[in-house]
Amino acid sequence: MEGNQPFTVLAVDDNPVNLKLMESSLVKEGYRVISASNGPSARELSVGEKPDLILLDIQMPGEDGFEVIRFLKENPATGAIPVIFLTGKSEIDSKLKGFDLGAVDYITKPFHPLEVLARVGIHLKLSIATNSLIADQARKLRQITEAQNAMMPLAEEFPNARFGVYYKALEEAGGDFYDILNISDQITGYFVADFSGHDIKTSYMTASIKALLAQNCNPVYSPQESMKMINDVLVEILTDGKYLTACYVWLNRSTGSLCIISAGHPPVVHVPKGKDPEVIRMNGDILGMFKDARFGIHRIRVNPGDRLFIYSDGLVESVRQKVTWATGAESLIEKFKQIRDVPYCDAPASLMETIFEKGEGPEDDVVVLCVEV
């Protein structure tokens, strides 16, 4: 119901006398009533009118009330509409089946108009309260999502970092995170992480990680020292088995030196200009779990035009196809070849389109970061 519009009740019964009795009782109390005498009409009116509540007779010729309830609850457009079913005094099995299919209450026939009004009023109040609670929770989750997204840097904010990014969280509280760090005029840090879990606590950790990166990633510390200090803090503050995998890439464009630190994260893909992509595999402990964690370290020389792809496991993992990031990384090689000539700023989105071209999307949160030297 919007504004001051009356509540709409759909009354469904193959008995015209019952329909008239329900309609007259409800209209007198300010309700808008629409009627149907059979199952197909009830389904059509439910989808088209989206009533606030449905009074549904169980015993009807042809398509009975059970089939109608089943349709309503399986249809996203009507699944939340409360249904009160009308049944005979001794039809215990019908009552139980109606509840199993999602009805909220029943009225025994022959019914009294005052009982109809009372039950309609009660369940509309419950529906209003439930919908208000859902709307409030959705609003709060949207605020969390917006706050989390606001912490993710945009490419235009770091023009010298020369990166493109694709980021998508499957749930309101995403578990993936990335950051860009201006370590000096010539040195840029790129950080991609994947938190265990996707609950609200996880989303709040984004701010903590961002603060730790800002405090510990600077020219004074080597990349491995930065990661060690971040890990030492996380070991102290993370609880309940929480941890994160992470990859920290430290790039000095003036000297062409690149350092990759891996904390149990999927391998970086290096695409040298004019050459085939290569997967850089490293071992390393996860962040936040072990005080004496050992991280994978890989140093290479890079040239202008070379590219690096840093991503989270959602890019390659699939429970349906039983693929892990450890086994699925090599399958990306051909995909990277296909996007070789795509501008770096558009490369992550193009990679996603290439990998998921058949329409099946990722099964987890995804971050794909493309860095061009």
Task: Please check the confidence at residue 145 and state whether its pLDDT lies above 60.
Answer: no
Least confident window among 41-55, 252-266, 308-322: 308-322
DSSP run (H or E) holding 371: strand 366-372
**Interacting residues of 357 by C-beta distance below 8 A, sequence separation 6+:** none
pLDDT for position 314: 84
pTM over 0.75: no
Q: What is the pLDDT of residues 213-241, one digit of tens each?
A: 988 998 989 999 999 999 998 888 887 67
d(CA 251, CA 116): 72
Task: Please check the confidence at residue 141 and state whether its pLDDT lies above 80.
Answer: no
pLDDT for position 29: 92
Task: Please check the confidence at residue 78 and state whether its pLDDT lies above 80.
Answer: yes
pLDDT for position 142: 59
Confidence class of residue 339 from pLDDT cuts 50, 70 and 90?
very high
Percent of the chain at pLDDT > 90 equals: 54
CATH of domain 151-372: 3.60.40.10
Q: What is the pLDDT of residues 88-103, one digit of tens each?
A: 866 788 888 889 999 9
Confidence class of residue 365 from pLDDT cuts 50, 70 and 90?
confident
pLDDT for position 324: 67
Architecture of the domain whose range is 8-143: 3-Layer(aba) Sandwich (3.40)
Q: What is the pLDDT of residues 163-214, one digit of tens each?
A: 999 988 766 555 788 999 999 989 999 999 988 765 556 656 777 888 889 8
d(CA 25, CA 33): 10
Cα–Cα separations (whole angstroms), residue 2 to 79, 90, 138, 296? 19, 39, 19, 58
d(CA 272, CA 276): 7
pLDDT for position 371: 96
Q: What is the pLDDT of residues 267-292, one digit of tens each?
A: 999 999 989 999 999 989 999 888 88
Q: Do domains 8-143 and 151-372 have the same CATH topology?
A: no
Residue type, 151: M
Per-domain boundaries in the chain: 8-143, 151-372
Average pLDDT across the chain, whole number: 86
Confidence class of residue 327 from pLDDT cuts 50, 70 and 90?
low
Confidence class of residue 153 from pLDDT cuts 50, 70 and 90?
confident
Residue type, 51: P
